[in-house]
Amino acid sequence: MRRVYLDHSATTPLDPRVREAMLPALGEEFGNPSSLHETGRRARRAVDRAREQTAALLGCDPGEIVFTGSGTEANNLALLGVFGAGARYSGHVIASAIEHPSVLEACRHLERFGVAVTYLRPDHEGVIHPDALAAALRADTRLVSIMTANNVVGSIQPVMQLGQIARDGGALFHTDAVQAVGKTPFRLADQPIDLLSLGAHKFHGPKGAGALFVRQGIELQPIVFGGGQERGLRSATENVAGVVGLGRAAELAAEEGPADCARLAQWRDRIIDHVLKAIPGAYLLGPRFQRLPGHVCLGFAGLEADTIRLLLALDQEGLDVSTGSACSASHADRPSYILQAMGLDAVRARGSLRITLGRFNTESEVDCLLETLPRVIATLRPAAGFPAADRASSNKPSETEYR
């Protein structure tokens, strides 16, 4: 059976051109970039080249790129690095309630050591309102962390406005852009973003490689101690092959990303339009257009409690999709904290189906999804029918319920 991979927000297949770029570092170019001899210098040149490629994608200076082992590590370095390694911290952090666990758990760690944290709730489409951030700022706010795009519902945040509000209030602004890099444009030299996290495997690079943009002049404290690599912010011998792969993936995203995203957005809209018309009781989670290209998050009235059955039925048909973020797959039977923060009740918060497209998907694979999904849904519907489609909007909260 041919498998159709539609879970690119979890991870993406390695681009063959990225693999080819990595091979020398896995073989004859095995040197340690900190070594002074020619073998080490070749490895250093490869790392420096990758730094330039990554900076070119983000529109920043290469010296502002710090390589990490993952997007999670980059998020931790951003949040914890602002406060240092003291026994007691002070100050205030603002984050959204729909951040990735690597941000939320870092915030909870800071809370345990004395930092006050405000968690902003989104509106019913998963978007943080700038007015909510402005109202939450305090004189002692040191950091604001709002993701660029949500991993579950695909909503894109107004980071330019949010970053400017943070800057005007005297706070640093960090954005977890792991889901967005390679899919949305960045020109960090001109944007009010002080810290930005990315992970290579979300845009057809290797797992185990990430980066943190640190704007020039911002001082962070390390969270990993040792030999002082990466400007002292990430001690450890560099993962040269991973870094090279990240750089090449960034280069390809800069060259091909706009065309990829246009194609994926077209297919995304086709999927949404077809499903909402062809499947009674289907509803979209997240905004209709202010969302990542290639990202679709759906619910099906009456099947919210059976989403795992739906996923397994699609798996048997050869379709790889998810019920939410890969990080929450071990407790997929629980309500999604992201959907609950958006105002969905506990039943509907269990019921999302996430379909995410990538560079190597084809139109025939989209056709396969659109033929298979309605048929599988029909087999799972109870014989007695299902709740009316207006259930999809009956619990939609008013925006006035949020800060």
Active site residues: 327
203 within 8 A of 214, measured Cβ to Cβ: no
370 within 8 A of 276, measured Cβ to Cβ: no
7 within 8 A of 354, measured Cβ to Cβ: yes
Q: Scan for tokens 């084809």, then name that residue.
A: 362
Beta bridge partners of residue 117, listed in sequence order: 93
* β-strand pairing of 353-356 with 295-300: antiparallel
Q: Output the DSSP codes for 206-261.
A: -TT-EEEEE-TT-----SS-SS-TGGGTS-S---HHHHHHHHHHHHHHHHHHHHHH
293 within 8 A of 287, measured Cβ to Cβ: no
Q: Which of 169, 178, 171 is nearest to 194 (CA)?
A: 171
Give dist(CA 284, CA 125) in Å, integer: 9
| Residue 93, helix vs strand vs coil | strand
| Residue 376, helix vs strand vs coil | helix
The two tokens of residue 263 are 């194609």
Query: What number of other Cβ atoms are within 10 A of residue 122's Cβ?
Result: 25
